[in-house]
Structure 1
């Protein structure tokens, strides 16, 4: 038998020591003996008692005989005495064995407990060994990555790139030159009339504007609205400087003047007497911004030198392409949100297919056949033919309705001037445009007029009310056409195509119509709809001509919740057992994303998108979601800096995959932004779970509570910085502020009670790197149509479609934090504050509006519950009611619902794939 050292047992009184194995052997011998005794003892006792009874019954004689003479009696008695002694001995043995059995049972139980503890300890050690091996592998990978990064720095010697520094002009650059001739002025272009020496690409484009009260340029009083709003708009512009010596350009407000007559001699003298005119007016911008239909080209016959002009009315011989700027009249508000009173974009088809209300005074007699247009005026003859053809449209036998009025009341009336007048009141025109799919805009009959106030006003009103402009006459200039692609929001045909207009309009699908209507509204709201956005747009066009980058977008200051003298207490993170034992990536020290690499190319390469897609050419961002991507082979030939291809480019399964970030872009990290309000323990638990998370740059905790955190609060040390930022007020909008502490492009917005596994976070980050312009996250939701009452409903049920990913656990680009906080209509942020709800819906609306793409949902996560956490805002009974209202209100602000449905989610490659034994999945559970 095999000896064991777990314990010993003393049997009887002999003190013999046995081991558990010998105990088992002895028991196998004792048990049969005990059974034999138990059988014999009752038989012997029975015999003894029966014998005694017989003796008594036979009488005294027999007793004497047996007692004195019978040797069997002695033998029988002796046997019984021996049996009794034997029984006593066996009972004693039995008691001893029972005691021994009890002791053995106690030892057996103790041994089982010891074995269980030992087994648990062995299993724990095995797990610890696995964790240590995994950590060792991660550390090895981290060291390799660090060495590679160090080698890249030394080999490439890349400078640290930041936003442009400012280098401005001085008074020495103000060299006075003689005034150019009128002929040379007509030939002005940027290359021969603009002084670039005053506008370094590092100057930040300083703009000086002449105060209209101090420097009176116009020969008559300025219109009050124009004077007030333009001065206010210039004052709000970030490029304005009060130092004329450093200015790149000088802005002078010339009109609109009250009254129709202009003393052009006096106007020219006033211009030339401006203190910084320097003889030739170079780098001066003359604003003639009309508000009424009487505004004309006041510079006709005026020597404006090398100054460029901005106005709505231009003759072809006075317009200098690429130098002068066509601007619409100031028909909008001074500034602010412009969505109020705008009609919805849907339905695509409205009551009228095409509408027009206008009058050409000289045309009335020709249409009535009272006289014929003069033969020496071909433009008027063409105009008559166009109108007669258009009149026939109303007689077509189709389902399309037309509203075409060529004589009307309330026209401005230029008398016999050849100009289409605006008719009816503004409210009447507004109602017609709201009911029109397309609206006709006739170009000025005079071919020398490439832009007029009435023409620009018609385009302005058409875009405002969602009637797609149909321009007849292709000799006109559109406002800000240097940057705005008018092909996406207006249809332009030569007048000779008038017979085909009906066919061409019917060929547009509903999707085409709504695309153009949406694009028109975007342009109107961002560049034309108010004095503020128009002035900002004019200055932005001039800045882009000079290839000067805009000012860097302002970050939100990250003010710590702690005093400068207070050092928060820290404690080692109480790390729970990991959800997986995977190697999810290298543990690297925090490093920021490479930023501001396209300061001087952003306008050149993506200027079109800045104006026509994203709608924000006014700010310079450290990065954009749509930065260009290198070809694949560039990662191995000439452009290796920062790239971490899988297994050095040869690919691989899970092991090699986890060691490198891979993808099509250089390595990077992400920042976690976590909003919290008076749930300290929940917050600390969530922070502790982030220990050892790969690719984490830092954690920003937005402290929404007015009370500071307790001084004795112990913050877990998770080996990356944790910045606790004080919020000015309790607002859910604080979740999306572009904090200066966010140094990465990727932002992971997480609720303080969300519980995500490390592998889910890393997988979501990897997916986001391939979908940088979209929201990538975990909990999916969708918007549904209310079949009973109409309108939109918010829905959180399981569904085969989704249209939103909640930002309680989602990645997005920091660019969208800027757009949410500074570009998105203020009314949406106000609604979020009113309900203390819906900020996640607002972000989904914004991103889908900009990209026209749905979000990306990763893995099977659908809901997030934190057992034992305090009740959150989403548990309130009014939560869903408010979210229904939010969707409908946001739809009203945007004019349509930008959310798009999607039917797929993202799981990792090799998920549920059967692999050879020597291969690993990318992620074990995803």
Structure 2
């Protein structure tokens, strides 16, 4: 029942609830619709109102926007005007700033020029003061002043010819200081003084030597000295009275033969003293054989034998100097020509018979000692032959050790010997013989250091100061023979090599040819007379342009300076170095200058330096001490050259070949360089350069000259041109770009090292272990041996040495390869000075933008330089180049200094 009721109730609910819900929903929806309609009506009215209001506002906004647009356009126009004005003002300000900078630069440049002018004016003022103080005339090369044709000079004769000396047997009045030492040679074809014909080689070689001499005159009336060639007489004269008569018949003998020189040059070991029983009057004797009683020291001359070439290069037959130790430590080949005891006593008439026996016994002791050394010290491989058992002995004097074998066999032995023994004659009154001098000659030639037993033996050109033989040989008393082995064993390799080198130099300079021997004889006579040598010859400097060539007035634009511009020194007018200041003092000192003892040079790099205080006390002419002696940093340093020598200038020599544009740029970079005397352009082409290109640069203010050459030769770079008037030469390639401060620094360094090459690009010689030869190396290295002359300072003296003294074979090799001239100059200077070059600054290479390709980049260039090194070593006999680990940079370069001080060079 309940269930049915419940079910019925649920059915009622189910039916009633939807109906009720629909009613209320409909009611609510109707109300909502009414409300929405009302709200929509309200909103429509509101929108209409808003629309009315918005329409009014939009109209106002549009008007406002239009107004703002007009304002914006007006503002933009004003901004554009302002920007234009701002840009104009900015441009004006930039222009003013540029002008201000220009004025600053102009002021700095003007101030720099002003400072330079101040330095130049001060320098000129000091020059004028020195000209006023200088009370000595400039010394020039001696000019020839000759005696009158009929000269009546007379000198009282000495008591006998044996007492002749220069002061009592020579007529000085015929040889004035300015006579230039005229020498007359009697024609050997007209005068034959011996009973046998004159040796043809001696006759021709002496004639050739004197014909090449600057002293030879063909006018006997003005001669200072008369030469008479007696010649090489084998076996002595048959008739001494005949020789006396022929001498007296000489056209200028004048009774006693004063100022005559009798030449008896030996060609063979058997040559004899032809004057032993001849009255030669006041004539000087020149020969190889002399006794103590006959030889007049300071008057007669001991000459070496003339067995070499007539003239020319003599290095071809010489062995190398190294190695120091050869196969045999000591060698000797000879046989004593022992006279009977009665003859020996006659030779030593002032000695007792017992003493003469002791002399003979001493010679036997020497022979026995040599045999013991040979047996006792087999490791030294001595080579002794005191009997000439296997060879023929040459004819010699009694009491003399005769030469054994032929010249060829002796050459083989000597070239294998470290030392060569030379035993003086038994008769100590015989101070020189042909065979003794021949032994010395051959030992020097073949590099066997002479060891002379017997200190009474005189050397060639003895007691004249011309030969410094102590550096090239050993001289011991015969009594030291037991200590001989110890003495030669105690000499280290460095001394052995230096003695051998000195001996080779002596041989090449004084003995190597008849020309050298005659030059030495004449040099000895000149020194005795205090006459200066003949001045060395400068090479003429012809211009490539004829006299009608006129340089253009337009000057090329000056290049921009590298880095900061600074005062590097005063701008001076060209000033030549003083020449021939020592033309007389060199004749007082008989020791020859290194390189060439036979000529007078206008200046050399070996001149002495005065004490430091001399420039302030009495000898200050020309000196420019820093800060007038007080010293100083950059400012004071740049105003004066300082150093230990008077102020000077330098000459630039530029070698070029068909590169006009490169050359013109190089010349332009050199403008304004202090202490520059002139620029010499060596135009290394037989065709002249284009005049238009050179017209501009030649129209510039600084002095220069373009030199015409005969052929394309790199040797032309080192010719001693007469246009070079300074001691200092800066040799540079046309593509070498050096800053002014680098050049000035190099010049200042060179002034303190005048005998050396001073420059920038360094190179070295390297040893090829496998090939046992030398190689040229251009790699960066901590050790150098060469400074290339493409950018280097050297003394003009070396230009003379290179052109006149250095072996011709080296110059020929330079021409053959068109290469290696810079190596040759380094070899020459190191050979003369035994010092390495000096490299300055860190500069190693030179870049030349726009330059044609250089020869040095070619592989064959280096191969040729390898060959040059080894050929030059062959010519010199050793490697002259010396290594150095030294480089020069400026003082104060990396030193911190106060702000008010300047460094010497800012970038060096």
TM-score (norm 2): 0.90
1:348-402 alpha-carbon deviations (Å, 9 max, x no partner): 111110011112244999xxxxxxxx96544322111111111111011463110
C-alpha distance in structure 2 between counterparts of 1:290 and 1:76, whole Å: 143
Shift in Å, 1:93: 4.7
Aligned residues of 2:234 and 2:271 also touching (Cα < 8 A): no
CA gap 1:397/1:619 in 2 versus in 1, 3 angstroms: closer
Aligned residues of 1:781 and 1:805 also touching (Cα < 8 A): yes
3-state SS of the aligned residue for 1:701? strand
C-alpha distance in structure 2 between counterparts of 1:364 and 1:888, whole Å: 55
Comparing 72-81 with 101-110, which one deviates more in the overlay? Answer: 101-110
Shift in Å, 1:84: 2.2
CA gap 1:415/1:224 in 2 versus in 1, 3 angstroms: closer
1:98-148 alpha-carbon deviations (Å, 9 max, x no partner): 666677667766766665555444334323322221111011110111111
1:584 match: 568
Q: How does 1:416-815 map to 2 (within 5 A)?
A: 417-481=398-462, 482=464, 483-579=466-562, 580-605=564-589, 607-610=590-593, 614-713=594-693, 714-716=695-697, 717-815=699-797
CA gap 1:924/1:93 in 2 versus in 1, 3 angstroms: same
Comparing 77-86 with 316-325, which one deviates more in the overlay? Answer: 77-86
2:121 match: 143
Residue 243 of structure 1: which of 205, 213, 219 is its match?
219
1:9-40 alpha-carbon deviations (Å, 9 max, x no partner): xxxxxxxxxxxxxxxxxxxxxxxxxxxxxxxx
Residue 100 of structure 2: which of 122, 133, 142 is its match?
122
2:134 match: 156
1:838-860 alpha-carbon deviations (Å, 9 max, x no partner): 10110000000000011111111
CA gap 1:206/1:914 in 2 versus in 1, 3 angstroms: same
C-alpha distance in structure 1 between counterparts of 2:263 and 2:92, whole Å: 93
Shift in Å, 1:258: 5.6
Aligned residues of 1:66 and 1:73 also touching (Cα < 8 A): no
C-alpha distance in structure 1 between counterparts of 2:415 and 2:160, whole Å: 47
3-state SS of the aligned residue for 1:267? helix
3-state SS of the aligned residue for 1:723? strand
2:255 match: 279
3-state SS of the aligned residue for 1:715? helix
3-state SS of the aligned residue for 2:375? coil
C-alpha distance in structure 1 between counterparts of 2:292 and 2:522, whole Å: 23
TM-score (norm 1): 0.89
Q: Does 1:867 align with 2:849?
A: yes
Shift in Å, 1:411: 2.7
Comparing 77-86 with 798-807, which one deviates more in the overlay? Answer: 77-86
Aligned residues of 1:361 and 1:413 also touching (Cα < 8 A): no
Q: How does 1:243-322 map to 2 (within 5 A)?
A: 243-257=219-233, 260-322=236-298
C-alpha distance in structure 1 between counterparts of 2:700 and 2:648, whole Å: 19
Aligned residues of 1:359 and 1:411 also touching (Cα < 8 A): no
Aligned residues of 2:715 and 2:815 also touching (Cα < 8 A): yes
C-alpha distance in structure 2 between counterparts of 1:874 and 1:118, whole Å: 51
1:194 match: 170
Shift in Å, 1:216: 2.5
C-alpha distance in structure 2 between counterparts of 1:864 and 1:198, whole Å: 59
1:22 match: none
3-state SS of the aligned residue for 1:300? coil
2:111 match: 133
1:30 match: none
Shift in Å, 1:253: 0.1
CA gap 1:316/1:577 in 2 versus in 1, 3 angstroms: same
* Greater Rg over alpha carbons, structure: 2
Shift in Å, 1:85: 2.7
Shift in Å, 1:455: 0.7
Shift in Å, 1:657: 0.8
CA RMSD of aligned residues (A): 2.5
2:20 match: none
Structure 1 stretches lacking a partner, 5+ long: 1-57, 366-373
Shift in Å, 1:806: 0.6
C-alpha distance in structure 2 between counterparts of 1:568 and 1:214, whole Å: 60
Matched residue pairs, number?
A: 855
Aligned residues of 2:538 and 2:722 also touching (Cα < 8 A): yes
CA gap 1:657/1:427 in 2 versus in 1, 3 angstroms: same
1:369 match: none
Aligned residues of 1:590 and 1:720 also touching (Cα < 8 A): no
CA gap 1:457/1:258 in 2 versus in 1, 3 angstroms: closer
Structure 2 stretches lacking a partner, 5+ long: 1-36, 342-352
1:400 match: 380
Shift in Å, 1:812: 0.6
